[in-house]
Amino acid sequence: MDIESYLNDLGFVNICVAASLPSALNSVRAKRPDLAILDVNLGQTLVFPVAAELRRLGVPFFFSTGRHISELPAEWTSERIVPKPANKKAIAAAVEKLGFRLH
């Protein structure tokens, strides 16, 4: 919820929050997002299938997680990670590193 608020503050208006793996996948497939921020834990499942779909679609994304990078599967350790608890400054910096201009 904090990250959604931070994104609103940064000027993003169409924000979709998904609480389950099927919901997240359906959302990504229904309308290609410009950007995604993924918590590694999505309910009782891991978000890596969503990350794979975003990668396939060429959507820039990063993880915001309380997990240490060593806990992630090797194929995802090259992705940007914003540690939780994330603050507005950290989210803004990660979004800018993905090439987005913020107001």
DSSP string, the chain: -HHHHHHHHTT-------SSHHHHHHHHHHS--S-EEE-SEETTEESHHHHHHHHHHT--EEEEESS-GGGS-GGGTTS-EEESSP-HHHHHHHHHHTT----
pLDDT in tens, the chain (103 residues): 688 888 888 888 888 899 899 999 999 999 999 999 999 998 789 999 999 999 999 999 999 998 888 888 999 988 889 998 899 999 999 999 998 888 6
Q: How far apart are CA 32 and CA 10, in angstroms?
A: 20
Q: Output the domain CATH number for residue 87.
A: 3.40.50.2300
Domain for residue 37, yes or no? yes
Instruction: Quote the tokens at residue 9.
Output: 């503050």
Q: Total domain count for the chain?
A: 1
Tell me if the pTM is above 0.85. Answer: yes
Spatial CA neighbour of 65 closest among 92, 45, 42, 88: 42
Q: Is residue 102 part of a domain?
A: no
The answer to the question of residue 61 being in a domain is yes
